[in-house]
Amino acid sequence: MDKSIKIFIASDHGGFELKGKIIKHLSDSGYNVEDMGCSSIDSVDYPLYGKKVSEKVADGEGVGILICGTGIGMSITANRYSDVRAALCMNGYMAKMSKMHNNANVLVLGARVLGEGLAFDIVDTWLSTEFEGGRHQKRLDMLE
Ligand code: RB5
């Protein structure tokens, strides 16, 4: 992905530590990342943070990464927005397919089910894979 495209990232308390590691990983790689919270491991409500990123992505301002404990709450939140295609990915294959076939514009991670190395691999794979278009675009059009 073009490194000038903004990456909005947010988590709840369950994803806070992994969020910090991913922000450093992406910043070190030259990506333009904006942290939209939360700001500590104190308990917060994931919809508040999922909505912040989803609104930016739905407005066409960039792509998103959302992290909670399992990734499930953030996925449910983000996919309520009609212009958001959020993909909860557990491995590099899912990350690759979520971009090639689904053109996911939000990547969702579960911090309590992924190690740091696997999470970095998922993020890197998602960012470096391109949408295939063609029959997959037709299917995305059918969602509208
Ligand atoms: C918080 O305990 C947890 O419920 C949240 O991080 C997430 O896993 C929800 O889906």
Ligand 1 atom with least separation from CA of 74 = 10
Given a contact cutoff of 8 angstroms between Cβ atoms, the answer to whether 119 and 109 are in contact is yes
Integer Cα distance of 26 and 24 in angstroms: 5
Q: How many domains are there within the chain?
A: 1
Which CATH number do you get for residue 129? 3.40.1400.10
Q: Provide the pLDDT for residue 13.
A: 98
Residue 12 beta carbon below 6 angstroms from any ligand 1 atom: yes
Residues known to be catalytic: 101
Chain segment 94-141, per-residue pLDDT in tens: 999 999 999 999 999 999 999 999 999 999 999 999 999 999 999 999
Residue 134 has a pLDDT of 96
**71 within domain boundaries:** yes
DSSP code per residue over 20-70 = HHHHHHHHHTT-EEEE----SSS---HHHHHHHHHHHHHTTS-EEEEEESS
- pTM assigned to the model: 0.98
pLDDT tens readout for residues 43-60: 999 999 999 999 999 999
What pLDDT is stored for residue 83 in this prediction? 97
- Residue 33: which of 44, 51, 20 has the closest Cα? 20
**Ligand 1 atom, smallest distance to 70 CA:** 8
Residue 1 lies in a domain: no
Q: Assess if residue 80 is contained within a domain.
A: yes
Range of the domain at 47: 6-141
| Closest among 28, 2, 17 to 109, alpha carbons compared | 17
